């Protein structure tokens, strides 16, 4: 999962670069993970319906 998130962020141009940018990267990772988990949960719920 972590690898997928890193790859996704790399694709949209958010990478682990300068240390000053690290908090932005961490925030983006967190939001991306939350979003992917929500989409995954919705998919499972739709299948169960």
Single pTM value for the model = 0.43
Angle at 16 between CA 34 and CA 26, to 5 degrees: 30
42/47 Cα distance (integer angstroms): 9
pLDDT in tens, 1-49: 677 777 777 776 666 555 556 777 778 888 888 888 888 888 877 776 5
Reduce the DSSP state of residue 40 to 3 states and report it.
Answer: helix
């Amino acid at each position: 999962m972590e690898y997928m998130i890193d790859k996704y962020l790399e694709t949209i141009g958010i990478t682990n670069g300068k240390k000053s940018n690290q908090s932005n990267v961490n925030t983006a990772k967190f939001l991306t993970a939350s979003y992917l988990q929500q989409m995954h949960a919705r998919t499972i719920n739709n299948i169960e319906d």
